[in-house]
């Protein structure tokens, strides 16, 4: 019934590589099945943890032409999925994954013709590492600005040092551990400051407005990087950001005519018949109250629909709009092409007319 634009692969575990004391890279084997994605995109992993179904997003740290796609996961203190994966990934042979998602991507045209500046910290390196590797061989050498506690806690440290030694990368690090001492010119002991960041970027990039800037990392550091760039009068359209945590949006104004709308939802339902699960295609009429999202309305009608972030970041709640018009408020997960093909995020979509038909996967 529903065309799925997202691959329900890769599934098989190939290997786990320990990157630092609290981060691992998980490599998947797609068993020769094609899996296309762009540098910077992410996938959603679903795991059953202590009886609870948990879905989280992880950026692909591999480059699209790599034989085996990979994600790099860093522990978050008290976090359900990150700790589960770092401790148990090795025991999961078949993975429940959907991909690719995200519009934080390095476009080929930009990578080939513009100077590229990557600004990051901690696990934020994952999507940027994919971008970096996909730029190998380009005439312009990317500038990487990367903050961590120490070199030992820096994900991909050895690979980045090799790229630097081979003249394929221009890197600048800050190490915030008190114990860190270095005489290297591209090492800062302590946190980056606005002045420092602006000075590094001004020295390395000849024409600031020509470069594209990609930022991903802890929220506070991302804000600092953005402030540094705005202080250099970099146009906002040249600055690309990916938040790993909840995105602070201005509260969207949901225009509503104050009238509930009935919409049609095509979906699947599982039923057990003599202990055997059967899946049926169903069509339901769902009342969406004024100002209510499609996701909330469907959940109120007990329709099985997946969700995770509820702020337009993860893409888990995607569905296909067949008829009618909906307004999507925030979208950090779908590409322009996805949207042009009628894909919407249910948690961010509100019906505009009464003709709406939605197909769930």
- The entry of ligand FAD, ligand FES, none that residue 312 binds, CB within 5 to 8 Å by partner kind: ligand FES
Q: Closest separation between CB of residue 323 and ligand FAD, Å? A: 30
- Strand, coil or helix: 93: coil
Burial profile 24-41: b = 16 or more Cβ within 10 angstroms, e = fewer: bbbbbbbeeeebebbbbb
- The entry of ligand FAD, ligand FES, none that residue 307 binds, CB within 5 to 8 Å by partner kind: ligand FES
- The entry of ligand FAD, ligand FES, none that residue 308 binds, CB within 5 to 8 Å by partner kind: ligand FES
- The entry of ligand FES, ligand FAD, none that residue 103 binds, CB within 5 to 8 Å by partner kind: none
Q: Are 89 and 82 in contact (CB under 8 A)?
A: no
Decide if residue 103 touches ligand FAD (CB under 6 A). Answer: no
Q: Are 56 and 81 in contact (CB under 8 A)?
A: yes
Rg over alpha carbons for the chain, rounded to the nearest Å, is 22
DSSP E strands in 82-177: the ranges are 96-101, 116-121, 143-148, 170-175
d(Cα 124, Cα 104) in Å, to the nearest integer? 12
Decide if residue 23 touches ligand FES (CB under 6 A). Answer: no
CA angle 63, 65, 71 (to 5 degrees): 35
- Strand, coil or helix: 20: strand
Decide if residue 305 touches ligand FES (CB under 6 A). Answer: no
Q: Which of 310, 324, 329, 357 binds ligand FES (CB under 6 A)?
A: 310
In this structure, the chain runs to a length of 361
d(Cα 244, Cα 73) in Å, to the nearest integer? 12
Decide if residue 308 touches ligand FES (CB under 6 A). Answer: yes
Q: Which of 39, 124, 142, 312 binds ligand FES (CB under 6 A)?
A: 312
Q: Which among 55-63, 110-118, 198-206, 224-232 is the span making contact with ligand FAD, rule CB under 6 A? A: 55-63
d(Cα 131, Cα 63) in Å, to the nearest integer? 7
By Cβ distance, which residue is nearest to ligand FAD? 79
Query: Which is nearer to ligand FES, 25 or 308 (by Cβ)?
Result: 308
Query: Which is nearer to ligand FES, 6 or 68 (by Cβ)?
Result: 6
Q: Which among 69-77, 171-179, 297-305, 338-346 is the span making contact with ligand FAD, rule CB under 6 A? A: 69-77
d(Cα 356, Cα 348) in Å, to the nearest integer? 15
d(Cα 144, Cα 192) in Å, to the nearest integer? 13
Applying CB under 6 A, the residues found at the interface with ligand FAD are 42, 56-59, 71-74, 76, 78-83, 102, 123, 126, 242, 244-245, 313-314
Applying CB under 6 A, the residues found at the interface with ligand FES are 307-310, 312-317, 333, 345, 347
């Amino acid at each position: 019934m529903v065309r799925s634009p997202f691959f329900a692969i890769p599934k098989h575990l190939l290997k786990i590589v320990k990157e630092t004391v609290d981060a691992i890279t998980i490599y998947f084997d797609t068993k020769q099945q094609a899996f296309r994605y762009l540098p910077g995109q992410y996938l959603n992993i679903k795991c059953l943890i202590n009886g609870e179904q948990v879905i989280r997003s992880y950026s692909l740290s591999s480059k699209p032409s790599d034989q085996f796609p990979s994600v790099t996961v860093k522990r978050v203190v008290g976090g359900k999925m990150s700790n589960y994966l770092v401790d148990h990934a090795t025991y999961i042979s078949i993975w429940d994954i959907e991909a690719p998602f995200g519009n934080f991507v390095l476009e080929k045209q930009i990578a080939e013709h513009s100077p590229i500046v990557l600004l990051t910290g901690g696990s934020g390196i994952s999507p940027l590492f994919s971008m970096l590797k996909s730029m190998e061989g380009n005439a312009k050498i990317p500038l990487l600005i990367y903050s961590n506690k120490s070199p030992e806690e820096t994900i991909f440290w050895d690979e980045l040092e090799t790229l630097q030694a081979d003249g394929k990368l221009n890197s600048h690090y800050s190490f915030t551990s008190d114990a860190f001492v270095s005489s290297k010119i591209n090492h800062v002991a302590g946190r980056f400051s606005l002045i420092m960041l602006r000075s590094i970027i001004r020295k390395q990039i000849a024409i600031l407005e020509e470069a594209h800037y990609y930022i991903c990392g802890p929220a506070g550091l991302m804000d600092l990087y953005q402030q540094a760039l705005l202080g250099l009068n970099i146009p906002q359209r040249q600055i690309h950001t990916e938040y790993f945590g909840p995105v602070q949006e201005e509260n969207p104004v949901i225009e509503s005519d104050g009238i509930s709308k009935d919409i049609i939802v095509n979906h699947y339902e599982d039923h057990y018949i003599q202990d055997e699960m059967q899946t049926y295609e169903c069509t339901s009429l769902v009342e969406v109250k004024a100002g209510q999202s499609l996701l909330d309305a469907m959940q109120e009608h007990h329709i099985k629909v997946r969700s995770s972030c509820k702020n337009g970041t993860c893409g888990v709640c995607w569905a296909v709009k067949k008829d009618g018009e909906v307004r999507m408020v925030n979208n950090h997960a779908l590409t322009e092409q996805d949207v042009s093909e009628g894909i919407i995020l249910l948690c961010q979509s509100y019906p505009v007319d009464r003709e709406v038909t939605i197909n769930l996967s």
